[in-house]
Amino acid sequence: MSAGLSRPLVLITGGSRGIGAACAILAAQSGYDVAVDFKSDASAARSVVDSCRSHGVRAECFQADVADHQAILRLFDAVTASLGRVTHLVNNAGITGKIGAFDSAEPDMIRRVIDLNVTGAILVAQRAAREMRSGDAIVNISSAATTLGSAGEYVWYAASKGAINAFTIGLARELAAQNIRVNAVEPGLIDTDIHAAGGSPGRASRLAPHIPMQRAGSADEIARSVLYLLSSAASYVTGSILRVSGGR
Ligand code: NAP
């Protein structure tokens, strides 16, 4: 993968921080051009773009709230105009909502989580799939919450990721004959800002002793699995849900 136009192009939603940022930088190291979507932290997104460019690939960041369908369509138009056709997608942007018991969860907050984690992710994949060709691939970022259930913390979030697993299996089968692969990664407890955003900044260190491997994972450890599933090393892997959770 040397000349710019021959490189694959990966779009990463929520690529400015955490798991998405780690995926962006590892993708650049692996020879992909990179489109970094972000919602509000432009300076974090620019810093990810700088890291990507230091690996000799093309990279740009794009502001788009991927819970908004019109913003998704504008995002793809902007990416295509600037970097070309999206060949690979990491459907990563996601939120938990405020950690707490189900009983007191605000309906608007639950709706925002579903709008982004489910509807937004599905609409991003739909737009991407329309321009994908044989050999291209999608990785959806799910969660170990799909089987843990997240009782007392965010059961609505666990439900949203369960929907993503079902979507991954169905879309994989629908696109398989075109040789477009669709897989998901289920991270366990990963040390990123998502826990603070949900109102529990110390969550990763607090829960680490309860993980079989006795520690939280890093965003890089998730990125390595994502890059494997995007790559031709996974050429016969589709409809798979890869758990990366330290045994949890
Ligand atoms: P994070 O550190 O909180 O980063 C979230 C990223 O998503 C940021 O780049 C943020 O952009 C972006 N984002 C948020 N809302 C968005 C929207 N409406 N439109 C576009 N981008 C948006 O989160 P993370 O821990 O890396 O999580 C990434 C994914 O992994 C999520 O799907 C999450 O559910 C999943 N996951 C995480 C864990 C974990 O323990 N961390 C475990 C399982 C699954 P700004 O920088 O602009 O705010």
Q: Specify the pTM.
A: 0.98
Q: Is 168 in the pocket of ligand 1 (CB under 6 A)?
A: no
Atom of ligand 1 nearest to the CA of 222: 30
For residue range 25-75, list pLDDT tens digits in order: 999 999 999 999 999 999 999 999 999 999 999 999 999 999 999 999 999
For 154-196, write each residue's pLDDT tens digit. Answer: 999 999 999 999 999 999 999 999 999 999 999 999 999 999 9
Atom of ligand 1 nearest to the CA of 68: 18
pLDDT at 6 (0 to 100) = 80
Span of 3-7, 32-36, 110-114, 140-144 with lowest mean pLDDT: 3-7
Q: Does residue 121's CB lie within 6 angstroms of at least one atom of ligand 1?
A: no
Band (pLDDT 50/70/90 cuts) for residue 138 is: very high
The protein residue with its alpha carbon nearest to ligand 1, atom 19, reads 65
4 and 55 Cβ atoms separated by less than 8 Å: no
Give the residue, by CA position, lying nearest to ligand 1 atom 5: 14
Q: Is 139 in the pocket of ligand 1 (CB under 6 A)?
A: no
C-beta of 44 in contact with ligand 1 (< 6 A) = yes
Contact between 122 and 168 (Cβ < 8 Å): no
User: In this predicted model, what pLDDT tens digit does every residue of 58-70 receive, in sequence order?
Assistant: 999 999 999 999 9
3-state secondary structure 9-42: EEEECCCCCHHHHHHHHHHHHCCCEEEEEECCCH
Q: Is 198 in the pocket of ligand 1 (CB under 6 A)?
A: no
> Quick one: average pLDDT of 88-100?
98
Rounded Cα–Cα distance for residues 114 and 128 (Å): 20
Probe residue for ligand 1, chosen from 19, 40, 122 as the CB with the greatest number of ligand atoms within 8 Å: 19
Task: Let me know: does 119 contact 95? Beta carbons within 8 Å.
Answer: no
157 is catalytic: yes
> How is residue 196 written in tokens?
């603070």
Out of 3.30.1780.10, 2.70.98.10, 3.40.50.720, 3.40.50.1100, which CATH number does the structure's domain 4-243 have?
Answer: 3.40.50.720
User: What separation in Å is there between the alpha carbon of 2 and the centre of ligand 1?
Assistant: 31
Residue 150 Cβ < 6 Å to ligand 1: no
* Mean pLDDT taken over the chain: 97
Long-range contacts of 60-65 (CB under 8 A, 24+ apart): 60/34, 60/35, 60/36, 61/15, 61/16, 61/35, 61/36, 61/37, 62/35, 62/36, 62/37, 62/38, 63/37, 63/38, 63/39, 64/37, 64/38, 64/39, 65/39
pLDDT band at 5 (very low <50, low <70, confident <90, very high): low
Ligand 1 pocket test, candidate residues 38, 40, 147, 222, most atoms within 8 A of CB: 38
Give the list of residues 6+ apart from residue 226 with CB closer than 8 angstroms, or none. 19, 23, 26, 90, 139, 141, 185
User: What residue type is assigned to position 48 of the chain?
Assistant: V
Confidence of residue 149 (pLDDT cuts 50, 70, 90): very high
